[in-house]
Amino acid sequence: MSDKLNAPGLAFDTQAAPEKRKNESIADWLGRQIVSGVYGCGDPIPKEMDFLAQTGISRGAYREALRRLAGKGMLVTRTRSGTRVTPRESWSLLDPDVVRWSFESGAPPDWYIRALYEMRAMIEPPAAAFAAERRTEADLQLFRDALQAMRYCEMTEDSWHQADASFHRAILISSHNPVLLSLESGICAAVAYTTAFRYRDMPNPHTRNPVDEHAAVFERIEARDPVGARRLMSELVDTALLDSKGTTVFDLGLPTLKV
Amino acid sequence: MSDKLNAPGLAFDTQAAPEKRKNESIADWLGRQIVSGVYGCGDPIPKEMDFLAQTGISRGAYREALRRLAGKGMLVTRTRSGTRVTPRESWSLLDPDVVRWSFESGAPPDWYIRALYEMRAMIEPPAAAFAAERRTEADLQLFRDALQAMRYCEMTEDSWHQADASFHRAILISSHNPVLLSLESGICAAVAYTTAFRYRDMPNPHTRNPVDEHAAVFERIEARDPVGARRLMSELVDTALLDSKGTTVFDLGLPTLKV
DNA sequence: CGCGTTCAATTTGTCCGACATATCGAAAGT
DNA sequence: ACTTTCGATATGTCGGACAAATTGAACGCG
């Protein structure tokens, strides 16, 4: 059963990982391995001595990497039994690292992209409503900067995705809900990776720059109109969702939620 | 500036921490210290050698504990600078450990309780709508068990809070959104701790058992009525929010969001 | 005096080796 | 057939040593 572990595939070469600390790059590598399904639910992780023997990495660095992943609920360790992968529902699927690993290691599964869009559809409209009630003048400037960057960048550029993420980050910041803000890294990573993923694999870039829709949301937030901001934001997310994969995969669920 | 660190308050006695592994209990203890504000944003954590000297814990165990917290975004380490606490917005405030630490170490601040309620008001109504569309027969049994337990327990009992949490857990499970389900631990911890916190500090327990409201939500989910489930769930959360601290603190934001 | 350079101290990062502890599984005993 | 004992094995903890990086002060120079 453990042939997969001792297989030559245990080559740890820190692929595309410019991390300085070894325990960090090990955690990155192992995190990618896990989210990409190399180790399924309940599967055992390489034993400390095996990993040490095959990679030359010291035991301490490997153990610290395991603790990073254990803190995200991805691993459980028991003496003698070894360290095993926990079922997906106990992971922190909105953790920015988990989102990054999922998109860095090949194409993430459809259910994950879909679930991330659904989360955005749940969170961002009410967040926009809170933002309309609580935004400060300093918050408004964040929106203006993001919108200006979106106008002056082509959608194919990487900088456009950054500007898009900045806009959605401004929403969460302006909501002035600390717990919501703590989801910022994960949400923005999801926004950036899903949009980049969409435009990379869509052969027909008929989609136009949605900067006007974003500006409309901002205008409602500036006007302190929670209801309007919520509605426009809901439309914005729904549009992105419908654009992403066609209506065949994503057509259930969200439309019936529009109020 | 570092007088607080070398102070005698560094007594690590694993208070009320029946953990077996030392690195785990250290992470618990340090996590409570951080969320309770002993170490503010940007403050330095005890140096490894200091901690070793004052507690007798080995350096490796302490470092593994730090990695656990670093995985939750609560710490950043830099050579020579030391290890410092990151600003709150970069923490995983919905992480079940963070929620537990916040409520275990004295009364959490009002803004945190309020933010948790707002998150529930954002997440649970749409989750109930998804549940109404996607629930299976097995899911329905989870609701029935939770409701029966709520009926046969007094609200003052601890078992009632468990049943309440089980009901809300059933909502997230029935939504069949993996990312939403990954928030289960944190949400349910928030539900359990906030309700327990409310009934412990409320001198006037005029609040009655809200089992009927919960049953109404279940009935709409069983009938596959997303709109109705969403509306009733929204009312349920709003009621809990208004009950918790009176309308003076929580009266802005949520009511205007009701559709 | 202002400014960049060099250098040494300090703190985290990594490695190594050893023992402690818990747990599983097989073997022995009843 | 059941229980107990015991050894093997993997994680948990400890201690010491050195490497790497960064800070801050001393130094030299224009």
Average model confidence (pLDDT) for chain B?
86
Say whether the ipTM exceeds 0.85: yes
Q: Are B123 and A120 in contact (CB under 8 A)?
A: no
Does one domain contain both B67 and B119?
no
Does one domain contain both A47 and A101?
no
Does one domain contain both B65 and B116?
no
Closest CB to A133 among B88, B96, B252 = B252
Does one domain contain both A34 and A143?
no
pLDDT score of A101 more than 80: yes
Q: In angstroms, what CA-CA distances link A130 with A220, A221, B70, B101?
A: 12, 9, 30, 27
pLDDT score of A110 more than 80: yes
- Predicted pLDDT of residue B107: 83
Interface test with B, best of A100, A110, A122 (most B CBs within 10 A): A122
Q: In angstroms, what CA-CA distances link A101 with A29, A139, B68?
A: 9, 30, 18
Rg of chain A (C-alpha set): 21
Residues of A in contact with B112 (CB under 8 A): 178-179
Does one domain contain both A128 and A34?
no
Does one domain contain both B76 and B164?
no
Q: Could you tell me which residues are beta bridge partners of residue A76?
A: A84
Which residue carries 């939504």 as its tokens?
Answer: B175
Report, as an integer, the average pLDDT of B101-120. 90
Q: Are B65 and B27 in contact (CB under 8 A)?
A: yes
Whether residues A256 and B129 touch (CB distance < 8 A) is answered with: yes
Residue ranges making up the domain that contains B149: 96-257
Q: Please identify, among A90, A123, A145, the residue that sits at the C-terminal boundary of a domain.
A: A90
Does one domain contain both B48 and B132?
no
CA distance B143 to B168: 9
Q: Could you tell me which residues are beta bridge partners of residue A252?
A: none
Residues B81-96 have pLDDT tens digits of 999 999 998 999 989 9
Q: Please identify, among B61, B88, B115, the residue that sits at the C-terminal boundary of a domain.
A: B88
- Predicted pLDDT of residue B204: 54
Q: In angstroms, what CA-CA distances link A47 with A70, A215, B138?
A: 15, 53, 37
Residues B147-171 have pLDDT tens digits of 999 999 888 788 888 899 999 999 9
Does one domain contain both A177 and A60?
no
CA distance B150 to B163: 6
CA distance A48 to B60: 15
**Which residue of chain A has the CA closest to B252?**
A133
Residue B79: how many other CB atoms lie within 10 Å: 7
Shortest CA gap A176–chain B (Å): 9
Q: Please identify, among B50, B67, B88, the residue that sits at the C-terminal boundary of a domain.
A: B88
Residue A95 in 3-state DSSP?
Answer: coil
Does one domain contain both B11 and B101?
no
Closest CB to B68 among A67, A91, A126 = A67
pLDDT score of A187 more than 60: yes
pLDDT tier for residue A250 given thresholds of 50, 70 and 90: very low
Does one domain contain both B166 and B230?
yes
CATH number of the CATH domain containing B212: 1.20.120.530
Does one domain contain both B61 and B140?
no
Q: Are A26 and A12 in contact (CB under 8 A)?
A: yes
Residues B217-258 have pLDDT tens digits of 999 999 999 999 999 999 999 988 887 654 433 333 333 333
CATH number of the CATH domain containing B30: 1.10.10.10
CA distance A213 to A235: 9
Does one domain contain both A100 and A224?
yes
- How many distinct structural domains can be found in chain B? 2
Strand D–CB A257 distance below 7 A: no
Residues B183-205 have pLDDT tens digits of 988 888 888 888 777 777 665 55
- Predicted pLDDT of residue A173: 96
CA distance B51 to B63: 10
- Predicted pLDDT of residue B18: 65
Shortest CA gap B90–chain A (Å): 6
Report, as an integer, the average pLDDT of A77-87. 96
Q: Chain A, 114-133: which have a CB under 8 Å from a chain B CB?
A: 115-116, 118-119, 121-123, 126-127, 129-130, 133
